[in-house]
Amino acid sequence: MDENNLGYGATKAFLDKFAGKAAEKPAETFGAAWDYAFGWVNFASAKKQAIRQKDLEKFLLTIGDNISEIPDENIQEPKLSLIGPALESTKYYIDEKDLRELFINLISRSMDNRYNKEVNHAFVEVIKQLSPIDAYLFKKMNKSTIPVARYLLKFEDLSSIYLNNYFIIDDMFDSDQTAISLSNLQRVGLINIPPGKPLKKKTFYDPYYNTQEYFDIKSNDSIIKSKEAIDRLLDEFGGDEEKVIQTLGMTREIFDSTKQFREVDVDKTHASVTSFGTAFYNVCIE
């Protein structure tokens, strides 16, 4: 441990805190991994990064506080194969508070044998693939099953065109942002979104019929306007389809599909947390 390295004072204080205690050996293992991950950062060059240095020291001291709360009989030496990659990755996420906290919890609980059945090395890679929005939404789910939906166009032949991906209504983020996050949370295995599986309580989906996006689709979508024009001209031309096609400049194929349009609707289903996601939540969030 070089006293010129970033966080030397905080690292020394961290190790001194556990001297002569049950957590001394686990703390030393952590300290060695910390020095390997951050030892290359020279303190002098880091003076211009005071905020980042403060975040690093807070990160280290928070882990120390967490370890202090683990009962002596549950303290264990962490696996270097887990805390090494976790600390290495932390260098690139230290400015992201929500993601930094996930790493703090993962590292702290790798030293607590009560979490041995749930701590998974894959969690390091999962955190690396999450955005702050992903972390926010997953935490907000709180291991519960939530309603999600997407908008679609329905046709008389029972076919459909989906206009977006499944999303949730949130005060902080729009439908595009939550749709991307839900897709990513499903991709990394934290949640599951089965199509066509709505929750029994229908009122859960009422807000999806009252969004500005829904109103905009119903009033401005091109296929809706084309359908309105077709119906109006068919009435005006006494049902002469060829004359309507010629007037609107459509192909027969487009005319037939547009004529079949029935309504804009909400495709309802749910998002649930997987067993892998539950373990991740218990270790990294709760």
Q: What is the pLDDT of residues 34-52, one digit of tens each?
A: 676 666 455 444 445 666 6
CA–CA gap between residue 205 and residue 268 (Å, rounded)? 7
Helices (H), 97-174: 97-109, 122-128, 132-141
Q: What is the pLDDT of residues 181-240, one digit of tens each?
A: 999 999 999 999 999 999 999 999 999 999 999 998 888 778 888 888 999 999 999 999
pLDDT of amino acid 12 = 66
- As beta bridge partners, residue 160 has 154
Torsion of CA 270, 273, 276, 279, to 10 degrees: 180
CA–CA gap between residue 131 and residue 171 (Å, rounded)? 18
pLDDT of amino acid 30 = 77
User: Which of 161, 252, 175, 181 is CA-nearest to residue 210?
Assistant: 175
pLDDT of amino acid 15 = 66
Q: What is the pLDDT of residues 139-189, one digit of tens each?
A: 999 999 999 999 999 988 888 989 999 999 999 999 999 999 999 999 999
Percent with pLDDT over 70 in the chain? 87
Order of strands across the sheet with 261-273? Answer: 160-162, 146-155, 261-273, 191-192
pLDDT of amino acid 217 = 87
Average pLDDT for 252-258: 88
Distance, CA of 76 to chain centre: 30
Spans of all domains in the chain: 8-128, 146-277
Q: Which band of pLDDT confidence, cut at 50, 70 and 90, is reported for residue 20?
A: low
pLDDT of amino acid 54 = 76
Q: What is the pLDDT of residues 76-122, one digit of tens each?
A: 988 989 999 998 888 788 778 899 999 999 999 999 999 999 999 99
Helices (H), 18-96: 24-38, 43-46, 50-68, 80-90
Q: Average model confidence (pLDDT) for the chain?
A: 87
Q: Rounded to 5 degrees, what are φ and ψ at 272?
A: -130, 155
pLDDT of amino acid 4 = 47
